[in-house]
Amino acid sequence: MMQQNLLKVQQVMSVCIRSYARHNKKAQYMNDAQLYEKVRYYPRVPDFKEDPIENPTKLFRVQRIKVLKGTPYWERRILQLLGLTRKMSDVTVVKNIPEMNAMLWKVKHLVDIKPVVFPYGEPTENDINHSFLKESGECIVTKEIKFDEKRLEARNKFDEKPERLDGKTLAYNSRLKWLSGYEC
């Protein structure tokens, strides 16, 4: 009877003892991995199939959205390298390369990252003065600055009329507008 109780205690003890050794589950997860170029991806669903992005964006628009107070020094250092330490409204454009992606991954909770797209084509050296970046990440390039000749002629006609800029005429027209209200 004593031996049976001792055997039960040993069985319970062997079940309750925790193993502090490292687990080796690498072999277990290797079968589920999908390889995209040099990146190993582990999907949540085993039968998940997705084609990689064919044309990834070349640039990212990065803007800081959180304060720096209370953040660790290594995150501040990364934001300083990106040039985002002064104001929250500061924006920087970075390349889509693995080194930058690793830096952005470490501070992803502090910044807003949007891909830069070029709906009207990429700017050339001549178009750089006529392009701007929207908050949505669209880089708008105006290839040519066009002007309407009708508007130019109307402007010249207006400049040639001296009575339009005469003090008496301005006072008279202002008085008429004051008396008639918002109808004119």
Domain holding 169, by residue range, is 154-178
Structure tokens at 154: 């109307």
Cβ atoms of 113 and 96 closer than 8 Å: no
Domain boundary among 68, 87, 116: 116
Q: Compute CA distances 99 → 6, 32, 35, 63, 119, whole Å.
A: 60, 27, 20, 18, 27
Residue 31 domain flag: no
> Residue 8 above 90 pLDDT?
no
Find the Cα–Cα–Cα–Cα dihedral 8, 14, 18, 20, rounded to 10°.
170
Counted domains in the chain: 2
SS3 161: coil
Domain boundary among 64, 99, 116: 116
Q: What is the pLDDT of residue 138?
A: 92
Residue 143 domain flag: no
For 75-120, the pLDDT digits (tens) are: 999 999 999 999 888 899 999 998 999 999 999 999 999 999 998 8
pTM score: 0.53
